[in-house]
């Protein structure tokens, strides 16, 4: 499937819940998280119909996300069904890692290929400050367990925020000296308003690189690695690698290959634009497989050339990242 700018769309992010067992300050407010509730969230049957339609249109990779996808009952069985879809798309997962220790082996057995774990600090007191919940050790145990069962290459996502955790960039970089992990630094994105963070809190890719280079010379990967938004580097012959994702400061929109489906069944052509097309009502009004494919195609055609963050009239949307899926 191609969009109107000739980009190949072969990657789908499926948000399966807007609920979460953490409350990261840059993602969700502590109270007033308006969950779309049981009937509002797509059932696994509905999600599978969408995934199957997407696979028929050439989607090769499906990332399961949320909210926290591992809090939804039945997620292991759902991942197994996704992995068994015709064409066998690669199934990956983004998680905060809290439940991975107990679930990694089952997920691997269900056919999950890889996992991205979000972790923004290596300090327990700070973990609680950022996520409003305790749990650093559980996440670290989850990382070990995911690595042990072979959910590899394991990726760790960190969002550095000025005045919060940006002083830990070098500590995260050091993890790649010991472990065969990809540690990725993602620029904070202004997705939803009202969370108390502004553009001033964003630690730019340039600043991230400066901090990373304070502990050693970074060599760009050659070949540069699989296509995707991360710019990849390595310290000497370290087992792990570093990814820097300049989500805002430099457009990688011309490489964008993805569609997103929100937990309440909207397909979102671009993370950083609020436009969405409805899938849920279509599903519940009896849409045929062909009609679902048409909606997904229309969403691909509706992808903008590039996002407009940073432009004077750019407005943050009302939806939180936990609803869109990151």
Residues that bind ligand SAM (CB under 6 A): 20, 26-27, 65-68, 94-96, 118, 157, 159, 186, 188-189, 191, 321-322, 325-326
Q: Which residues contact 112 (CB under 8 A, 6 or more apart)?
A: 79, 83, 91, 92, 93, 151
**Is 53 or 195 the residue whose CB approaches ligand SF4 more closely?**
195
211: helix, coil or strand?
helix
CA dihedral (38, 44, 49, 52) positive or negative: positive
Q: How many CB atoms lie within 10 A of CB 140?
A: 17
Name the minimum Å distance from CB 297 to ligand SAM.
26
**Is 36 or 221 the residue whose CB approaches ligand SF4 more closely?**
36
**Is 81 or 96 the residue whose CB approaches ligand SAM more closely?**
96
Q: Binding to ligand SF4 by residue 269, rule CB under 6 A?
A: no
DSSP 161: B
Pick from 27, 55, 110, 271: which binds ligand SF4 (CB under 6 A)? Answer: 27
**Is 67 or 173 the residue whose CB approaches ligand SF4 more closely?**
67
**Is 8 or 61 the residue whose CB approaches ligand SAM more closely?**
61
Say if CB 15 and CB 66 are below 8 A apart: yes
Of these partners, ligand SAM, ligand SF4, none, which one is at the site of residue 191 (CB under 5 to 8 Å by kind)?
Answer: ligand SAM
Per 3-state DSSP, the chain is made up of helix, strand and coil in percentages (nearest 5) of 35, 20, 50
Pick from 3, 10, 68, 276: which binds ligand SF4 (CB under 6 A)? Answer: 68
Q: Binding to ligand SF4 by residue 67, rule CB under 6 A?
A: yes
Pick from 8, 23, 60, 308: which binds ligand SF4 (CB under 6 A)? Answer: 23
Q: Binding to ligand SF4 by residue 96, rule CB under 6 A?
A: yes
The Cα–Cα gap between 26 and 15 comes to 18
Name the minimum Å distance from CB 74 to ligand SAM.
17
Q: How far is CA 106 from CA 180, 203, 305, 309, in A?
A: 22, 37, 40, 39
Which two three-digit tokens encode residue 87?
A: 């064409």
In terms of C-beta density within 10 A (0-12 exposed, 13-18 middle, 19 or more buried), how is residue 51 classed? buried
Which positions touch ligand SF4 (CB under 6 A)?
A: 20, 22-24, 27-28, 66-68, 96, 118, 321-322
């Amino acid at each position: 499937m191609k969009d109107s700018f000739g980009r190949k769309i072969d990657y789908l992010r499926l948000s399966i819940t807007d609920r979460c067992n953490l409350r990261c300050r840059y993602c969700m407010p502590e109270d007033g998280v308006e969950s779309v509730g049981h009937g509002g969230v797509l059932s696994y049957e509905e999600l599978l119909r969408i995934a199957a339609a997407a696979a028929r249109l050439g989607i090769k990779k499906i990332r399961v996300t949320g909210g926290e996808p591992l809090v939804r009952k039945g997620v292991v069985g759902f991942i197994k069904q996704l992995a068994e879809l015709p064409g066998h798309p690669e199934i990956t997962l983004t998680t905060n890692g809290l439940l991975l220790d107990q679930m990694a082996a089952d997920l691997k057995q269900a056919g999950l290929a890889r996992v991205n774990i979000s972790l923004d600090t290596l300090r327990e007191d700070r973990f609680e400050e950022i996520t409003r919940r305790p749990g650093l050790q559980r996440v670290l145990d989850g990382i070990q367990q995911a690595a042990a069962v072979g959910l590899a290459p394991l990726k760790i996502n960190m969002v550095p925020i000025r005045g919060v955790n940006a002083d830990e960039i070098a500590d995260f970089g050091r993890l790649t000296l010991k472990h065969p992990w990809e540690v990725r630094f993602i620029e904070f994105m202004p997705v939803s308003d009202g969370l108390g963070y502004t553009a001033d809190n964003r630690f730019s890719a340039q600043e991230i690189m400066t901090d990373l280079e304070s502990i050693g010379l970074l060599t760009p990967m050659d070949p540069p690695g699989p296509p995707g938004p991360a710019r990849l580097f390595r310290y000497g012959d370290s087992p792990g690698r570093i990814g820097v994702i300049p989500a805002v400061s430099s457009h990688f929109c011309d490489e964008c290959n993805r569609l997103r489906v929100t937990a309440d069944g909207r397909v979102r052509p671009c993370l950083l634009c609020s436009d969405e097309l409805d899938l849920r009502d279509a599903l519940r009004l009896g849409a045929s497989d062909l009609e679902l494919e048409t909606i997904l195609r229309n969403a691909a055609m509706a992808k903008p050339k590039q996002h407009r963050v940073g432009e004077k009239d750019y407005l943050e949307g009302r939806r939180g990242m936990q609803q869109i899926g990151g």
